[in-house]
Amino acid sequence: MNGFWENEYVQAAAYYSVVILCSIVFLAIFELVTKYKNWEEIKNGNLSVAMATGGKIFGIANIFRYSIMQHDSLFSMIGWGVFGFTLLLAGYFIYEFLTPKIKIDEEIQNDNRAVGFISMVVSIGLSYIIGAGL
């Protein structure tokens, strides 16, 4: 059985499955902390929410990319991925705090595409910085 887990295809499938599951959980957490309903807004054509959510999806995936590259075991990869996500979530709150004249969630919900774009880039940019530290 030990040889089974050492197979590269099995490892790739395991990493893929775990990252998909973690992504779903992390997106649900982002859904809880935003003032709008991501998927409902996207369904209604809100491009700003789509960009911000896309940035979060990219950010989560990129953090796990670095985590997979830097850690040998599945459990280590998960732990560092969760840590990276926590930093990304903290970055979301810091971004909101550093822009006191703009209510980020309200602007994104109102389809302010400039704010949606910056939110996407912030998530992507932070994922590279977080990933480099993993």
pTM equals 0.91
pLDDT tens by residue, the chain, 134 residues: 667 777 889 889 999 999 999 999 999 999 999 999 999 999 999 999 999 999 999 999 999 999 999 988 889 999 999 999 999 999 999 999 999 999 999 999 999 999 999 999 999 999 999 999 99
pLDDT score of 1:
62
User: What angle separates helix 47-70 from helix 8-33, to the nearest 10 degrees?
Assistant: 140
pLDDT score of 80:
96
- Angle among Cα 94, 37, 114 to the nearest 5 degrees reads 55
- Altogether, the residues listed in the chain come to a count of 134
Q: Which of 55, 57, 51 is nearest to 112 (CA)?
A: 51
All structural domains of the chain with their residue ranges = 2-133
